[in-house]
Amino acid sequence: MCEITIVTTAGRPDEESLQLADYVCQQLGIPFEPRKKRSVAKISELLNANVIVAGKNRFEYYPKGAKQPLFFHPNSAAFRLKRIAKGESDPFMDACGLSLGDSYLDCTLGLGSDAIVAAYSVGSKGKVIGLEANRNVAFIVKQGMKTYDFTELPLTSCMRKIEVLHAEALEYLMNQKNNSIDVIYMDPMFEEIIEESNNFEPLRDAGSHLQLTSQWVEEAVRVARKKVVLKAHYKSTYFEKFGFKRDIRLTSKFHYGTIEIV
């Protein structure tokens, strides 16, 4: 993965775009490159760099060589919350078993769809933390959670309460106390590609491809108060390898597994 990242503006920058680009430079400590009517792909190729574009409505992240940008959107969370409000079940909620006031740690935040649902489940007195190992992705998601223009509640209020941290899960867990977080969730990048999930491709290009390890699971079990939850492709060997009780869903290409803390 390319280590260099620069920021530029949209094709026709105005003062607002320049200010937003300057904000990115300050937040991430990366250089600014004037657009000069060049394509993002051309800038990326010339500078051998990842590119963050500061536009009027959103930030977009182009990892070097990516065909599509990563930008924040609530993904499936919007319609999932509507279904939950109607009393319909949600497999993620069933697996996590979150209650009002619980604390929840998402070790692999991505675009945060599950974390948004978790924020709804734990309510105003609960706590939701999302970890993202890739610094650029963490920035895009953190800014999106704070500024995404969506007037519909409870989606907006759920997004606003999530604490997004740039951190690798294992390192973060090793610094937490025993039994200090109610539910710990991990959704490592699927080993198998689900062809229908086209909206997942920008994240696959941009995100960190972390492999689940025994140390990661052991630390999660130590820190969790109630349970550790794994989401993985139905062909994954993670469930049996690391001792998760799998909930087999015959009509789904991914399953959930749990380790209950006794």
Residues 137 and 242 in one domain: yes
The pLDDT of 151-156, averaged and rounded, is 74
Are 14 and 107 found together in one domain? no
Which positions ≥6 away from 45 have C-beta within 8 Å?
Answer: none
Q: Does the pLDDT of residue 199 top 50, yes or no?
A: no
Average pLDDT over residues 223-239: 94
Residue 163 domain flag: yes
Please indicate, yes or no, if residue 72 is contained in any of the structural domains: no
- Note the pLDDT of residue 85: 87
Residues 173 and 99 grouped into a single domain: yes
112 inside domain: yes
Q: 10 Å Cβ neighbour count for 41? A: 14
Per-residue pLDDT tens digits for 103-152: 999 999 989 999 999 999 999 999 999 999 999 999 999 999 998 876 66
One domain for residues 126 and 220: yes
pLDDT at position 196 is 40
Is residue 67 situated within a structural domain? no
Taking all residues of the chain, what is their mean pLDDT, rounded to a whole number?
89
Shared-domain flag, residues 160 and 205: yes
Six-digit token pair at 187? 């959704």
d(CA 200, CA 93): 21
CA angle 106, 107, 113 (to 5 degrees): 45
* Phi then psi dihedrals of residue 181, to 5 deg: -130, 130
Judged by average pLDDT, the poorest of 19-23, 77-81, 150-154, 204-208 is 204-208
Q: Closest Cα partner for 183 from 99, 254, 124?
A: 99
- Number of domains observed in the structure of the chain: 2
Q: Retrieve residue 12's tokens.
A: 């026709």
CA distance readout (Å), 76 to 114, 136, 157: 9, 22, 16
pLDDT at 90: 93
Average the pLDDT over 75-81 and give the result: 87
Last residue of a domain, one of 37, 62, 87: 62
**One domain, residues 27 and 51:** yes
Give the whole-number percent of the chain exceeding pLDDT 90.
Answer: 66
133 found inside a domain? yes
Does pLDDT of 12 surpass 60? yes
Q: How many angstroms separate the CA atoms of 14 and 223, rounded?
A: 48
The CA distance from 80 to 78, in Å, is 5
Q: Which residue has the tokens 């039994």?
A: 179
The beta strands (E) that lie in 4-79 are given as: 5-9, 50-54, 59-62
The pLDDT value recorded for residue 252 is 83
**33-48 pLDDT tens trace:** 999 989 999 999 999 9
Question: pLDDT higher for 86 or 172?
Answer: 172
Same domain, 182 and 120: yes
Q: Is residue 121 part of a domain?
A: yes
Residues 142 and 250 in one domain: yes
Residues 22 and 124 grouped into a single domain = no
pLDDT level of residue 74 (50, 70, 90 thresholds): confident
Range of the domain at 113: 77-260
Q: Quick check: 1 pLDDT over 70?
A: no
